[in-house]
């Protein structure tokens, strides 16, 4: 019964839609509209990212709106935490609850009059009706339907109630909701920017609640009123909204509002291919930050989940992604979040940054309390930036996360280290040889002048030859003695950076350990 025509890349219901001139600016406006119910999930971040990209790429506007119509799940800290996540990632908004904008307020609980107005319109035009069916009655209905082997769902009983009945219920204090009446119009088709054409059978839908008994609208009504009033051109959202899109289109039609372009982005799955959730480990954006992942790495990685630029390019910065992104290349299929590839990409981004930039990122990590992954508490804060800048080239290409900097650098800052006696000789030597090597090394370390990498290395290589040893068996005990670990940056740069006094005393300690 619907006549569907294609108009500027989207299908609209020609029977009922008269484009609202004020809503037709031709300007791209997208939004991210999270519910403040907890931490911003990585899947939500990806949705926000795609939405943001679509706006930024065309020079459009990106709006942040808080959808807090669910009082039961409301979390007072969530809004700030969501904004913190987005800011950290560089997903900034042109209008939002904190900065306002031409369509303020941007928080749904402050916009109730708009929803009431729309509800009134729908009631008056006969597209909606009041219903006094209680949650208990709905429960009974469900049980009966299941017992009869029928699909559960509201039976539209409210359609046949009289105004007197509703008034009586209201007077009796029964909860009243407003339901939208599903028209008997056969099939409904819509065009999604990523899915293409999708068709639904309206006869399978039941009349649904648009206004709850507490006076708050449901998502279905609220987001439409907001998106219309805020002149949102592209509704970018998660795929769980696909099945309810027909309802949304029906509301637009009843209100005589123009449809936005629907962009349902694919789901992100966990390693086990189920919807990403808490049990898949770090799932919130903030947790990745706390793990030492760079925002540019997450940004890059997430952009590549469900989208690719079309060639083999993978490592991109913000600007390149904004420039190359296109809805046309967004995939329909869900993708698994591969943490290992994220960590690899994080390493790539770390290697690409300047030492000065890395310094800014690493210093706060090192300065955290020891219990939170920082340097040992015995090391005084703030750390010496100049010294740190000298050290960074030694570990720069070895870091895959910022947090690894602590282990990679702590021995440079500590007074003494505590090597494992077993580890001192290394795999290819023995304690006696190691002790002798260290004794011999001590002479060089005490006297070598200048105390610089190149000179030290030349002396040590000469020593190895003199002792009839390969470099490994000589260098390893020294490395373990000086750094406390068998894995470390290039030995002579390390020795020079730590300084003669501490190096000599560490080697002496190691000799004592081997003899004791």
Q: Which residue has the tokens 């690899």?
A: 344
Catalytic entry in 150, 174, 278, 470 = 278
- Cβ atoms of residues 516 and 444 within 8 Å: no
Number of neighbouring beta carbons within 10 Å of residue 38: 15
- Cβ atoms of residues 291 and 42 within 8 Å: no
Q: How far from the centroid of its chain's Cα atoms is residue 382's Cα?
A: 30
> Cβ closer to RNA: 369 or 490?
490
Burial 88-123 (b: 16+ CB within 10 A, else e): bbebebebbbeeebebeebbbeebeebbeebbeebe
Nearest to 244 by CA among 278, 284, 198: 198
Least Å distance, CB 267 to RNA, is 5
> Cβ closer to RNA: 369 or 472?
472
> Cβ closer to RNA: 87 or 470?
470
> Cβ closer to RNA: 2 or 200?
200
Least Å distance, CB 225 to RNA, is 13
What is the 3-class SS of 435-469, one letter each residue?
HHHHHHHHHHHHHCCCCCHHHHHHHHHHHHHHHCC
Is 278 an active-site residue?
yes
> Cβ closer to RNA: 17 or 213?
213
Helix (H, G, I), strand (E, B) or coil at 128: strand
- Cβ atoms of residues 132 and 160 within 8 Å: no
> Cβ closer to RNA: 2 or 492?
492
Least Å distance, CB 150 to RNA, is 8
Helix (H, G, I), strand (E, B) or coil at 29: strand
Q: Which residue has the tokens 């560089």?
A: 90
Least Å distance, CB 135 to RNA, is 5
Structure tokens at 384: 């010496």
- Cβ atoms of residues 100 and 85 within 8 Å: no
Q: How far is residue 43's CA from residue 292's CA, in Å, rounded to a whole number?
A: 19
Backbone phi, then psi, for 409, in 5-degree steps?
Answer: -120, -15
Least Å distance, CB 105 to RNA, is 16
Least Å distance, CB 409 to RNA, is 13
> Cβ closer to RNA: 19 or 213?
213
In whole angstroms, how large is the CA radius of gyration of the chain?
32
Q: How far is residue 421's CA from residue 511's CA, in Å, rounded to a whole number?
A: 10
The DSSP symbol for 208 reads E
The DSSP symbol for 306 reads S
Least Å distance, CB 169 to RNA, is 10
Structure tokens at 287: 């947790």
Active site residues: 278
């Amino acid at each position: 019964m619907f006549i569907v025509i294609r108009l500027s890349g989207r299908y609209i219901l020609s029977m009922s839609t008269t484009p609202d001139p004020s809503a037709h600016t031709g300007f791209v406006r997208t939004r991210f509209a999270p519910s403040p119910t907890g931490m911003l999930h990585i899947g939500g971040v990806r949705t926000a990212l795609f939405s943001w990209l679509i706006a930024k790429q065309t020079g459009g506007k990106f709006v942040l709106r808080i959808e807090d119509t669910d009082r039961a799940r409301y979390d007072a800290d969530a809004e700030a935490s969501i904004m913190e996540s987005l800011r950290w990632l560089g997903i900034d908004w042109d209008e939002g609850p904190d900065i306002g904008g031409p369509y303020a307020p941007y928080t749904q609980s402050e916009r109730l009059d708009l929803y009431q107005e729309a509800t009134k319109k729908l009631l008056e035009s006969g597209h909606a009706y009041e219903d006094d069916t209680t949650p208990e009655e709905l429960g009974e209905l469900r049980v009966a339907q299941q017992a009869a082997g029928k699909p559960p769902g509201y039976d539209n009983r409210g359609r046949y109630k009289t105004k007197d009945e509703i008034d009586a219920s209201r007077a009796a204090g029964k909860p009243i909701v407003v339901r939208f009446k599903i028209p008997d119009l056969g099939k409904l088709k819509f065009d999604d920017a990523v899915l293409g054409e999708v068709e639904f059978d309206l006869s399978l839908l039941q009349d649904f609640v648009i206004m709850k008994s507490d006076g708050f609208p449901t998502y279905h009504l609220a987001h439409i009123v907001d998106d219309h009033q805020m002149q949102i051109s592209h509704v970018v959202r998660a795929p769980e909204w696909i099945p309810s899109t027909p309802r949304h289109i029906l509301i637009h039609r009843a209100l005589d509002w123009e449809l936005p372009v629907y962009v349902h982005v694919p789901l992100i799955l966990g390693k086990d291919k189920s919807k990403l959730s808490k049990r898949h480990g770090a799932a919130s954006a903030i947790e990745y930050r706390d793990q030492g992942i760079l925002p540019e790495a997450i940004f890059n990685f997430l952009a590549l989940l469900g989208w690719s630029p079309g060639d083999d390019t993978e490592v991109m910065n913000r600007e390149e992604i904004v420039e190359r992104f296109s809805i046309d290349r967004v995939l329909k299929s869900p993708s698994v979040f591969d943490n290992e590839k994220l960590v690899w990409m994080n390493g790539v981004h770390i290697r690409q940054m300047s030492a000065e930039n890395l310094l800014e990122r690493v210093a706060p990590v090192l300065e955290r309390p020891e219990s939170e992954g920082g340097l040992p508490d015995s090391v005084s804060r703030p750390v010496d930036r100049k010294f740190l800048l000298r050290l960074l080239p030694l570990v720069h290409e070895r870091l895959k996360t910022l947090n690894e900097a602590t282990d990679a650098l702590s021995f440079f800052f500590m007074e003494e280290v505590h090597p494992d006696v077993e580890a001192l000789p290394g795999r290819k030597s023995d304690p006696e040889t190691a002790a002798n090597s260290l004794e011999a090394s001590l002479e060089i370390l005490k006297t070598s002048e200048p105390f610089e990498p190149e000179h030290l290395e030349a002396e040590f290589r000469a020593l190895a030859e003199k002792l009839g040893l390969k470099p490994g068996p000589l260098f390893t005990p020294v490395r373990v003695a000086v750094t406390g670990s068998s894995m470390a940056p290039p030995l002579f740069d390390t020795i020079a950076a730590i300084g003669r006094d501490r190096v000599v005393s560490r080697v002496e300690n190691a000799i004592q350990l081997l003899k004791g």
